[in-house]
């Protein structure tokens, strides 16, 4: 009986292996980042059930195209509403810090369409906030 339970547990474990785009939780917030371990800077564009912040995505993409060939990037779609993860690769840690700070300055504090999460492999992190979280005046 014990052998049967062990075999069943192994079969279930093997069948539930995480896909390449694994879901992780950081600070109580879920994020999806395929290939995150190889990215100098990662930008995750999420959705509040109405698509991503397309304007911010276009700003980030234009910035990265201008920085080529010193900076390379890939954009991976993973959701039904246009959600994307942008993986940026730089040549040095100094360049990664600069790219992180430049992208951070392109992003709004409050995102109407969906959350945007920015992080570097050096531990820097930023996330736009949901307008519903804004403190009420008066």
Which sign does the torsion angle of CA 28, 30, 35, 39 carry?
Answer: negative
Name the nearest CA neighbour of 70 among 48, 40, 43, 50. Answer: 40
The pTM score is 0.71
**pLDDT single digits (tens) 16-60:** 333 333 333 334 344 444 445 689 999 999 998 889 999 999 999
DSSP run (H or E) holding 89: strand 84-89
Query: Is the CB of residue 103 less than 8 Å from the CB of residue 126?
Result: no
Topology classification of domain 19-133: Alpha-Beta Plaits (3.30.70)
Q: In what order do the strands lie in the sheet with 125-127?
A: 72-77, 84-89, 41-45, 116-120, 125-127
Per-domain residue ranges of the chain: 19-133
Please tell me the predicted confidence (pLDDT) of residue 101.
Answer: 97
**pLDDT single digits (tens) 48-70:** 888 999 999 999 999 999 999 99
Tokens for 61? 């993409």
- Report how far residue 77's alpha carbon sits from residue 57's, in angstroms, rounded to the nearest whole number: 12
Tokens for 72? 């390379």
């Amino acid at each position: 009986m014990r052998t049967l339970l062990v075999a069943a547990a192994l079969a279930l474990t093997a069948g539930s292996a995480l896909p390449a785009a694994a879901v992780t939780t950081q600070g109580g917030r879920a994020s999806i980042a395929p290939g995150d371990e190889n990215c100098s800077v990662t930008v995750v564009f999420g959705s509040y059930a109405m698509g991503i912040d397309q304007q911010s995505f276009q700003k980030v993409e234009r910035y990265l195209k201008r920085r080529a060939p010193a900076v390379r990037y890939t954009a991976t779609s993973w959701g039904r509403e246009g959600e994307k993860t942008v993986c940026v690769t730089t040549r040095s840690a100094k360049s990664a810090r600069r790219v992180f700070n430049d992208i951070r300055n392109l992003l709004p504090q409050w995102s109407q369409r969906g959350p945007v999460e920015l992080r570097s492999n050096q531990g820097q992190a930023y996330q736009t906030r949901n307008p519903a979280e804004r403190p009420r005046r008066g």
